[in-house]
Amino acid sequence: MRAVRAVFIGAAALLTFPFAGCSSGGGGGGDDGVATSPTPMDDGGSGGSSPPLSAGDPQWRAGEYPPADDFKDRCAAPRSGVDSEGNVFPDQPGSLRDEQFWLRSWTHETYLFNDEVIDRDPADFPSAAAYFDVLKTEETFRPGKPKDEFHFSQPTADYLDSRNAVASIGYGAAITVVRPTPPREIRITATQERAPTAFVPGAQLVAVDGIDLVHGITTEAERRTALAALYPRAAGEVHHFHLRVPGEAALRTVTAQAIPVKGGAVDDLQTFATTEGRTGYIRIGTFGTYQAERDIFDAMSTLEAADIEELILDLRYNTGGILAIASQLSYMIAGTSRTRDKVFEGFRFNDDAGELNPTTGDPNTPFPFYDTGLGFSLTATTALPTLNNLDRVVILTSGETCSASESVLNGLRGIDFPIVVIGGGTCGKPFGFFPTDNCGTTYFTLQFEGINDKGQGGYIDGFIPADSPAPYGERLPGCAIEAAPSDPIGEAGDPLYDAALTYIETGSCPATPTSPLASAMAAGPQRSGAVATRAAIGLPLIPDRGISAGRARDVVRPAK
């Protein structure tokens, strides 16, 4: 078996934080993939004046780029000891200029659009983060469509915690800010067993700790109080919510205590009979943790044992993750004969890379459809299950289906495995990165475009169902269906779930798509009682942490 390196791919359309509290992190998005040692991300820059040059600091000369290795791990504040995975920190004494010059040369060597990056003097920027923010293309694919919407970074410690599925603080519920400005709409979009009873998918949060979430929040103090309650930082915190549960006229009052929460990759798994035979439904929320390998293996083993003939794969909230795990899932769906000697995803690097992977210096080798465990959380060489009775897969999608999730669609279409897409268009991120740590920050910069066995990539406007009215996008067979945040998920009444069953049983889309999100959003949330009665112009309620860290195509590998 080949060694596998993790690549990140992912995206997020709504401000969603699954089962977690608010934490620091970068904005942007990413792709997934494979790598021998993991790399981290870093986030936004800060203002201020740039520190003066010191003796021995590198000097900027426009258009001249010393090798990035000359500056790697030379840090203004070197770390000592080991990281959370037991790796010794490689940091050596250095300076801010060393960190900035590493970013400059590393970008020149590995960035996909490296010939479009303006060469700016690092001395004009007060921090490595501020300099990294400008080390990307400013070009567009067309007016209003930037080439790079996914450039971000985050503290390496946070990246490693996320990858290792370290428990975070929350209520056991995914809280989604559907509309951040008044009249705001904040919904529960998924829950775990430990969530408060009233925290059901579709429930709308209308007030917290006496603050009106729909029409209020007119001061910065109120904004921070509301965010602190929605995304708690410490276990044991207690907050008081008013929320509207679908189907109930009266508001519920709930006192919720923050708890450590560790989410899994598989949010729901079902098997049931239809007119077309035994059908399976699996909702996968992420490919972004090592544990996802084991979670998906276990779920697919259950579906294999059930001998299903149809599969509904729900990726509507899957913003991406580790590319190799997305490859494993695709193999388990398509099976051995269809995937043998086929490329799941190849890598198109910048024009200077030639036949090499510029992030490693090794030959540019594509990812196959991996048919065994890779050592993330499943023993390497463990044979993966396959769903041999499938002639197609029905995939539920939305604007949050991104990066590594889109690689599943692109990889399967590259081997002509039939796909039916039900829902909305995907995010449009055919790009990925090899997350790279330097001096405590993990940087995500676009380094490749993913292409399938046929050489297809470039889906910058996402994949859309064939009958979608959208002007842009790669069309695939299926049905354009919109769902409102108040709709149930994975059961009767879920417009995407119902449409998938209709398609399986009739071969056609529903006659009248139900529960259009556009109509729900136009109508706005209902108002009732003493809560949500002020028609004030409130501040936008946007969580302080980056919203796209999940949008990844991560090419990380397990350590050998």
Q: Is residue 173 part of a domain?
A: no
pLDDT over 90 for what percent of the chain?
71
- For residue 483, the enclosing domain spans 266-431+455-517
Q: Is residue 490 part of a domain?
A: yes
List the single range of 77-91, 156-170, 266-280, 347-361 with lowest mean pLDDT. 156-170
Number of domains in the chain: 2
What stretch of H or E contains 38?
none
* Shared domain check, 277 and 161: no
**DSSP state for residue 63 in the 8-state scheme:** T
Please report which confidence band the pLDDT of residue 159 belongs to, taking 50, 70 and 90 as the band edges: very high
Please report which confidence band the pLDDT of residue 37 belongs to, taking 50, 70 and 90 as the band edges: very low
Place of tokens 């794969």: 313
CA–CA distance, 296 with 224 (Å, rounded to integer): 37
Q: What is the pLDDT of residue 369?
A: 98
* Shared domain check, 471 and 359: yes
Q: Is residue 312 part of a domain?
A: yes
Q: What pTM value is reported for the model?
A: 0.81
Closest CA to 397 of 450, 335, 320, 327: 320
- In this model, does residue 405 exceed pLDDT 60? yes
Q: Look over the chain and give the mean of its residue pLDDT values, rounded to a whole number.
A: 85
* Shared domain check, 275 and 161: no
Task: Give per-residue pLDDT as tens, 243-252.
Answer: 999 889 999 9
- In this model, does residue 46 exceed pLDDT 70? no
Last residue of a domain, one of 113, 147, 165: 165
Closest CA to 396 of 282, 298, 487: 282
Q: What is the pLDDT of residue 59?
A: 94
Last residue of a domain, one of 126, 147, 165: 165
Q: What is the mean pLDDT of residues 88-96?
A: 98
Q: What is the pLDDT of residue 50?
A: 60
- In this model, does residue 239 exceed pLDDT 90? yes
Place of tokens 């035994």: 278
Q: What is the mean pLDDT of residues 447-462?
A: 98
Q: Is residue 333 part of a domain?
A: yes
**3-state helix/strand/coil string of 469-527:** CCCCCEEECEEECCCCCCCCCCCCCCHHHHHHHHHHHHCCCCCCCCCCHHHHHHHCCCC
Q: Is residue 70 part of a domain?
A: yes
